Structure 1
Amino acid sequence: MVARQLDEQIAGRFPVGRRLRVLDVGMGQGTQALRLARVGHQVTGVEQDPTMISAARAALSGEPEGIRERVRIIEGDGRDTGVHFLPGSFDVVLCHGVLMYVEEPDPLVAGLARMLAPGGLLSLLVRNGDALAMRPGLYGDWATALAAFDTTAYTNRLGLDVRADRLETLTATLAGIGAPLHAWYGVRVFTDTAADGAEVPQDVDSLLAVEERAGRTDPYRRVAALLHLCGVRG
């Protein structure tokens, strides 16, 4: 779902066929990085978890040489991008599933925006702080749901204490760093309670169509588990 949304934003901002310079901060096992490299973009991935780096390198090793040459992996923290790169070095910067682990996200987001060339796209995927009561409420965990209304802190499925971001707050942050919000989507509107490793349903195309529509439509996208925000560097 996020990939479709990202492709839509890229297609709307850059000429068809242009090879983009992409920075993927918190690249994980490299899913997005490899996908973008396969369509011709030059991708630099930053990751600090050795296990994820090993998985990304293993996945990359199975790709043709032309794709391998388009991917660079750097071990590091997303907060030190200024050490590795000059300002304006990238056309697209991704930061998906990272901000929830950062206690003070504003400096990180500002640093990412500085990496963008004018007109560049900043793509953030965050936990929706305005909908933290949804998951425990749907599970019938009323005490946790009630407490979730007044906080942006939560415990994720890995048992880690992390934080969420509110749409209004991030919109103000993006405006303040010169990469104002251009578009936003909801992600996992109806599927957030699906168990990890659940079997793919037979009507998966219908499921994806519903999620795609809901992720673009109020009021549904406002109660999605995740928010996908796209800012554009002025």
Structure 2
Amino acid sequence: MGQGTQALRLARAGHTVTGLESDAEMLRVAREALADEPAGIRERVRLIEGDGLETGVHFLPGSFDVVLCHGVLMYVQEPDAMLAGLARMLAPGGLLSLLVRNGDALAMRPGTAGDWDTALAAFDTDAYTNRLGLTVRADRLDDLTATLAGIAAPLHAWYGVRTFTDHMSNDVELPAAAELDRVLAAEDRAGRTDPYRRVAALLHLCGVRG
């Protein structure tokens, strides 16, 4: 769950949330952020130190209505075992939400930046260097669709994320509210529309447990 940003937003929205994180420093940051929340929100959040590959140690089958795995699979060299463990935690009809780097569009970011050598190399690999300078991996829609079917949480819907704004730095100042609304509206429309969603930097996949 990283530093807990999404976990806290879900708790503020009224959900009961369990966060699993293996990095002690990330967990410390999350706990500090949680401590600043009102008591009603703190009561809805449970934070656990543990590895996503070992969910069976911490949770019984069918424990959750929704399982989020956002921005994690790129750091896992063999993701199938983790995905099977995540699906195992879903109650019948539960939702598995994945956010992954789009392996079919790795040439887009360097290509739009004019980095032609990196763009050409990206056509023949699923590895890339992320903004932290780490070499990680990307996933392809067809592969994940087959994996989700094989773990009894077949793909229900998918979206593209960051079609038009992937070139922007994480440190860029947000535009004024009206402009930001237009940016988000354009991204939302592109993320739901072919062919734009297929070249988005990230893919959001939703599998549903049978």
Same fold per superposition (TM over 0.5): yes
Please say if 1:71 is aligned against 2:39. Answer: no
Partner of 1:207: 183
Please say if 1:129 is aligned against 2:103. Answer: yes
Partner of 1:83: 57
- The separation in 1 between residues aligned to 2:107 and 2:160, in whole angstroms, is 16
Which amino acid is the alignment partner of residue 212 of structure 1? D
Q: 3-state SS of the aligned residue for 2:53?
A: helix
Partner of 1:151: 125
Please say if 1:179 is aligned against 2:159. Answer: no
Unaligned runs of at least 5 residues, structure 1: 1-26
- The separation in 2 between residues aligned to 1:75 and 1:112, in whole angstroms, is 16
Partner of 2:137: 163
Give aligned-pair identity as a percent.
79
- The separation in 1 between residues aligned to 2:17 and 2:169, in whole angstroms, is 32
- The separation in 1 between residues aligned to 2:83 and 2:132, in whole angstroms, is 24
Normalising by structure 2, we get a TM-score of 0.97
TM-align CA RMSD: 0.7
Partner of 1:43: 17
- The separation in 2 between residues aligned to 1:162 and 1:104, in whole angstroms, is 12
Q: 1:189 aligns with which of 141, 163, 166?
A: 163
Question: Alpha-carbon deviation of 1:49?
Answer: 1.5
- The separation in 2 between residues aligned to 1:223 and 1:39, in whole angstroms, is 31
Which amino acid is the alignment partner of residue 214 of structure 1? A
Which amino acid is the alignment partner of residue 5 of structure 2? T
* Cα-to-partner distance string for 1:97-146 (whole Å, 9 max, x where unaligned): 00000000001001100000000000000000000000000111101100
Which amino acid is the alignment partner of residue 122 of structure 2? A
Q: 1:54 aligns with which of 28, 35, 45?
A: 28
* Cα-to-partner distance string for 1:29-72 (whole Å, 9 max, x where unaligned): 11111111112211100011122111111111111111101101
Partner of 1:6: none
- The separation in 2 between residues aligned to 1:207 and 1:42, in whole angstroms, is 31
Which amino acid is the alignment partner of residue 165 of structure 1? D
Please say if 1:28 is aligned against 2:19. Answer: no
Question: Alpha-carbon deviation of 1:196?
Answer: 2.0
- The separation in 2 between residues aligned to 1:182 and 1:143, in whole angstroms, is 37
Q: 2:70 aligns with which of 75, 96, 119?
A: 96
Partner of 2:206: 230
Q: What are the residue-to-residue correspondences of 1:100-115 with 2, within 5 Å?
A: 100-115=74-89
How many residues are paired up?
208
Q: 3-state SS of the aligned residue for 1:191?
A: coil
